[in-house]
Structure formats: structure tokens, C-alpha cells
Amino acid sequence: MKELNQPISGDDLARFSGPTTFMRLPLAHALDGLDVAIVGVPMDIGTSWRSGARFAPKEIRNQSAAIRPYNLTTGDAPFEVHNIADIGDLAINTYSLPDTLRIVEESFDAILTGSDVVPVALGGDQSITLPILRAMARKHGPMAVVHVDARSDSSDETFGERNTSGTVFRRAQDEGLVDSEKVYQIGLRGTGETPSELKTPQSWGFQHFLASELWNRSMAGLGTEIRRDIGGRPVYLSFDISALDPGFAPGTGAPEIGGLTSMQALELVRALKGVNLVGCDMVEVAPAYDPTGTTSLVAAHLVYEMLCMLPQRSETVE
């Protein structure tokens, strides 16, 4: 049985010390032997309102130092069943969105080729999801996608640009990266330039769950339903932190009121446990608008819960 990477314990080193890898895991320079690779993608120029997500990977990791390995609520112990490492940040081109998207796509191709690692991306803005989906689809074919977000991100273009944080899912649909009947967009709300912002993706088959339909309710049931609907398909989970209400996550690029609560986000991710998760991301945290660190903390904890929801690999158990 191989030895699994473990976070540094708070009993060995005070939590405000140590490397700022995710949960103070080892920093890996190669993928050998890894089940899961956490990777930062600090790109923020695909956003239309408040920039600053370039600092999100760093702050999510900073806040993650307070998370311990055992999930007291669910009983999960992800570091006992998976070999997880932080592989640092991609060397993006901070001045060019197209060039960065190319770098992300090539980097994910490299990660996915010749390894079965599950990549967990720390954005960055939502624009990074498209090149990730491209690389993922080359390996897995059209995937089911759970997209938690305030917005459907299905515009055609803005200022003539076709690859921004607002166009990800139209491109993904057009390019056949997703199984359009199995795309779940959860937390949608707010306002649009045209009434078609929801209708268009619905016409593709995307399933929409408006935040307003979920208020004052547990999301465990919805999560379970989606898990069953997905079955054994490969699934990608993309979590835009603006899905949460700004009361719970103010530090984001385009906050929208009336969102999900942190509790609902936990319920959803936990209920999805058991799906065939092949990759996931956490995007749109903007630390400059998060003076208490709460948003980065929520994001870090949700990434931890994603680690808990990963399917158990046969080779990692005895």
C-alpha cells in the first residue's frame, strides 16, 4: 500500500506557519502516484466588474491552513483514501486572456495525458473553465456538468470577445464538450441584458435551478436527485463563488443578492458524493473585496468538501 500525502498537523506546526499549499499538503512537482492534484490558475482578466481573482489561489490556500483532515460532520477522511498534492500555479500570461486560455488548455492536456489524476482548479475567474473542459472532454468525452453560479455564463460574446467569463457554457455547448441534457446550473438569479440568458441554455437542454426556488430549503434533496440523474457519467463540478449570497461570500467579482447560503452549498456538495467526479474548480473569489477572509474560507472549505466527495479509487484501498 502506498503512503498517502498528509496535511501538516496543527499539533506539529502552528496553523499560521508552514507552506501555503492547500491545507499545507506537500507541493508536488510531478503527478506520479497522485490521485488528486490541486492547481492554481490565477487569471482574472476575463471578468467584467471587480477584478482581483488573481490573488484567490493564494488566499484560498492561506485560509485552508485552518482546515483539519477529518470531516466531523460526514465522517469522510479524504487523506486516508486518496493521494492528494498541491502542484502550485500554472504559469499564465497575466496580460492576455487568449494566451492564458491556451496555456490552461495545454497544461490540463499535459496533466490528463498519462495520468488519472483528478484536477482541482483554484481560479481565477470563470473563463478558466472553458480550456479545462476542452482538455477534460478530450479524455472523457462530453461530460455531465454541475455548474453552481449566479449566472448561466452563456453569452455569445462581449465587446467582440468570444472567450470570457460570461461565454464559457455557450462555447462548451457549441464545441460538444458537455452532455447537454446533464448540465445542471444551480443558483441562477439576478438580471440579464436580454431575457434569453436563461432561455437559451434551457433550449440546449441545460437544467436550471433558480436560487429563488431553493430559498429556505435544504439542498440535500436536489443534490441527491442530480446524483441519480447523472448516474455513472463522468462529471465536472464548476463552482463560481458568486452562487452564494454576498452575505456569505462578499469577496467576488460580481456579487448578486439572493443567493445560496453556505449551508446549502455544503448540502449540495455532500449530496453529490458518489458521482464519478473527474475534475472540479472553484472560481471568482476576489480577495480585495473580502476584508475578513470569509469568502476565501468558504471557498477553501468547499474545495475540501469536493475532496471528500471524490469516488474511492480501488488502488488506494486495502
Question: What residues between 234 and 253 interact with a copy of itself by CB under 8 A?
Answer: 245-248, 250-251
168, 268, 301, 309: which one contacts a copy of itself (CB under 8 A)?
Answer: 301
Q: Among 30-38, 128-136, 225-233, 297-305, which window interacts with a copy of itself (CB under 8 A)?
A: 297-305
Binding to a copy of itself by CB under 8 A, coded x per residue (else -) over 31-50, reads ---------x-x-xxx-xxx
The answer to whether the CB of 63 falls within 8 A of the CB of 296 is yes
By the rule CB under 8 A, 26 interacts with a copy of itself: no
**Could you tell me the three cell numbers for 206?**
441545460
- The 10 Å Cβ neighbour count of residue 200 is 18
Residue 191 CA, distance from chain mean position: 23
Nearer to a copy of itself, 221 or 232 (CB): 221
The whole-angstrom separation of Cα 44 and Cα 42 is 7
- The piece of 3-11, 109-117, 139-147, 235-243 that touches a copy of itself (CB under 8 A) is 3-11
Residue 284: which of 247, 248, 241, 246 has the closest Cα?
241
Sheet holding 207-210, edge to edge: 84-89, 36-41, 118-123, 276-283, 234-240, 143-148, 178-188, 207-210
Using CB under 8 A, which residues numbered 79 to 138 contact a copy of itself? Answer: 88-97, 99
Among 26, 27, 311, 313, binds a copy of itself (CB under 8 A): 27
Report 251-280 residues binding a copy of itself (CB under 8 A): 251, 254-255, 257-258, 261-263, 266-267
Q: How far is the CB of 80 from a copy of itself (least distance, A)?
A: 10
